[in-house]
Amino acid sequence: MVTDYREAAEQSKAWPFEEARKLLKRYRGERGASAPKTGPDGEILPMLFETGYGPSGLPHIGTFNEVLRTTMVRHAYETLTGYPTRLIAFSDDMDGFRKVPTNVPNQDMLAEHLHKPLTQVPDPFGKFESFAAHNNAMLREFLDRFGFEYEFMSSTEQYQSGRFDPTLKLVLQRYGQIMDIMLPTLGKERQATYSPVLPISPKTGHVLQVPVEVIDAEAGMVRFEDDGDVIEQNILSGGAKLQWKVDWAMRWTALGVDYEMYGKDLTDSGIVSGKIAKVLGARKPEGLIYELFLDAKGEKISKSKGNGLSIEEWLRYGSENSLAFYIYREPKSAKQLHMGVIPKAVDEYFQFRANWHEQEADKRLGNAVHHVHNGDVPTDT
């Protein structure tokens, strides 16, 4: 028998439902009642969820964490409303290649391509057309492995296809307002050279960080200096990309993103990008600001320290479901992530799974395994 959880979901204090209820307030119908997202002809549009990925490195446990938690909110919204949803896994693959990773081959070759868009850097493994294409493929393989439902989207493809062009014109038209938001967040030295627009050099193919003068916003024309020469260039259809906080706001605007969560370390960036989105005529997405994982000593996990725990290490001793169970719980509280937490997570996962089958609907929705399995909890223990 299929249980209808909608009534219980409306009152549930489980965090995915609390997040999903934010989306109920995002669109209003007659007399202020909650309404679905609709298009120009009144057609119901999917609520758009987004997660971001930086393809300068391989997907990791943080990637899993963000996509998993976003998926849990997505499912909660579907339970509450029955309305359609989409999840975009967005790759920032037009970002400039800033640093050669230490864990890949052909280091010298890669060093020759610093500052180019990641989609213009050759694949050091020799398997794909670019380093970004390699890491994007790893992302899709990673997400497919865990059964996530998503649509992959490439920043380079969106810029070059012209999908972002109308919003890029808006950025140029409201350039002064965006600068007024950004400059107070920067140091004096950075203020002197900052530009929201990063042209692609016609000489070197590099993503340039130089001051830019807007010539014709509607046509997308700007002027800048490139190695001593004054260049006039069209930024549309891949002629430039945006600085990341402005890029984030532009993407929210152009794609119509409704929900995106991010880590506590990006709190200030999210506020700034939200202000820019408003200037562009859009609303900042709803979202959860989650705490970061800590190591066994209670210190922040960082790639450079190598003090994190990989998914492969977890899966050596525990299941994917036990990892999802651990990640689900208390996203706004900092949690330690190390080998020592695995046995307890595995035991509690099976305990909560057994309990779920004996619980009433409201209790089930507060049980972590309900969200791990999207309500289809296995009966075998």
Q: How confident is the model at residue 103 (pLDDT cuts 50, 70, 90)?
A: confident
Looking at the predicted structure, is the pLDDT value of residue 302 above 80? no
Q: What is the mean pLDDT of residues 299-317?
A: 79
Q: What is the mean pLDDT of residues 328-342?
A: 94
Range of the domain at 358: 293-381
In this structure, how many other beta carbons lie within 10 angstroms of the beta carbon of residue 224? 21
Which residue is it, tokens 């497919």?
144
Residue 56: inside a domain: no
pLDDT at 35: 87
Closest CA to 269 of 289, 292, 283, 291: 289
Residue 33: inside a domain: no
pLDDT at 60: 86
pLDDT tens readout for residues 205-240: 999 999 999 999 999 999 999 999 999 999 999 999
Looking at the predicted structure, is the pLDDT value of residue 305 above 70? no
pLDDT tens readout for residues 4-41: 899 999 999 999 999 999 999 999 876 777 889 999 99
Residue 252: inside a domain: no
What are 99's strand-pairing partners? none
Structural domains of the chain, count = 1
Closest CA to 6 of 84, 82, 85: 82
208, 198 contact by CB (below 8 A): yes
Looking at the predicted structure, is the pLDDT value of residue 66 above 70? yes
Residue 85: inside a domain: no
Q: What is the mean pLDDT of residues 175-200?
A: 97
Residue 137: inside a domain: no
356 phi/psi in degrees, rounded to 5? -55, -40
Closest CA to 10 of 267, 361, 316: 361
Burial (0-12, 13-18, 19+ Cβ within 10 Å), 195: buried
Residue 210: inside a domain: no
- The rounded percent of the chain whose pLDDT value lies above 90 is 89
Looking at the predicted structure, is the pLDDT value of residue 117 above 50? yes
Residue 161: inside a domain: no
Closest CA to 77 of 1, 143, 32, 12: 12
**CA–CA separation, 267 vs 247, rounded Å?**
16
The pair of three-digit structure tokens given for residue 267, joined into one six-digit string: 């709190």
pLDDT tens readout for residues 336-353: 999 999 999 999 999 999
Looking at the predicted structure, is the pLDDT value of residue 196 above 60? yes
pLDDT at 1: 40
- The rounded percent of the chain whose pLDDT value lies above 70 is 97
**CA–CA separation, 315 vs 328, rounded Å?**
17
228, 208 contact by CB (below 8 A): no
pLDDT tens readout for residues 245-261: 999 999 999 999 999 99
pLDDT at 303: 58
State pTM to two decimals. Answer: 0.96
pLDDT at 381: 55
**CA–CA separation, 341 vs 351, rounded Å?**
16
In this structure, how many other beta carbons lie within 10 angstroms of the beta carbon of residue 320? 16
Residue 324: inside a domain: yes
Q: What is the mean pLDDT of residues 40-46?
A: 95
253, 282 contact by CB (below 8 A): yes
Q: Which residue has the higher pLDDT, 60 or 344?
A: 344
The pair of three-digit structure tokens given for residue 46, joined into one six-digit string: 């999917």
Q: Are strands 221-226 and 213-216 parallel, antiparallel or unpaired?
A: antiparallel
